[in-house]
Chain A
Amino acid sequence: NAGVTQTPKFQVLKTGQSMTLQCAQDMNHNSMYWYRQDPGMGLRLIYYSASEGTTDKGEVPNGYNVSRLNKREFSLRLESAAPSQTSVYFCASSDAGRILYGYTFGSGTRLTVV
């Protein structure tokens, strides 16, 4: 099925551990995004990549890094996890210049930092 695939679906980390969240899309979209979703806070943009080879900070980038590996893949790395990073993480993609088609989201990664 076409769409956005995120791995892993669930993860528990200890404070200070690192991990990479993987995201891949097969819709030939130019733009990709990483969001976190917390109760009462809605979706907050962490980083985005408007096109292959470019990345930019969003609303809450501290503690995260990203890599746009190629047009299909956009990874999010937590170098030293903190309990404040416990959240549900969503990757999304879109066709640049065609905003009416919206974003396509993955099913999310539920991360708990203890």
Chain B
Amino acid sequence: QKEVEQDPGPLSVPEGAIVSLNCTYSNSAFQYFMWYRQYSRKGPELLMYTYSSGNKEDGRFTAQVDKSSKYISLFIRDSQPSDSATYLCAMSGGTASKLTFGTGTRLQVTL
């Protein structure tokens, strides 16, 4: 069993929809959580990061962490075609630890 599980999709939604992307993990030591966005034929880029449990909002994006359930989510409001990309979750147990990545969820936002 992988330390981080992520549904690969693809997930197809109409423009303007609310999107929910999720990851589950098994390592209770994880306390730093991130979301990366990867456009086709590009490298991943950091989208959001959170520490420990709770919510963090940045524009149309909200990252949510539930450490008791070992479950993290990324919500995208008013989704746009430009949001079409692969979204990877990543997490770490400490400031000097390496990141463990999920396999990514491919999102397609249609007009």
Contact = CB atoms under 8 A, between A and B. Distances in A.
B109 interface: no
Interface stretch (B12-20, B57-65, B74-82, B88-96): B88-96
A106 B94 CA distance: 24
Interface in A23-61: 33, 40-43, 45, 48
Give the dominant DSSP class at A's interface: mixed
B94 to A, nearest CB: 7
B85 interface: no
A87 B105 CA distance: 19
A27 to B, nearest CB: 13
B35 to A, nearest CB: 10
Contacts of B92: 99
A106 B44 CA distance: 8
B89 to A, nearest CB: 10
A41 B103 contact: yes
Contact of A103 (B46, B94, B97): B46
A107 B43 CA distance: 5
B95 to A, nearest CB: 5
Interface residues of A, number: 23
Contact of B97 (A4, A92, A99): A99
Contacts of B95: 97-100
B98 A48 contact: yes
Nearest to A108: B43
Nearest to B48: A102
A108 B34 contact: no
Nearest to A90: B43
A74 interface: no
B99 interface: yes
18 contacts: A41-B103, A42-B88, A43-B88, A90-B43, A90-B44, A99-B32, A99-B94, A99-B97, A99-B99, A102-B36, A103-B99, A105-B43, A105-B44, A105-B45, A106-B43, A107-B42, A107-B43, A108-B42
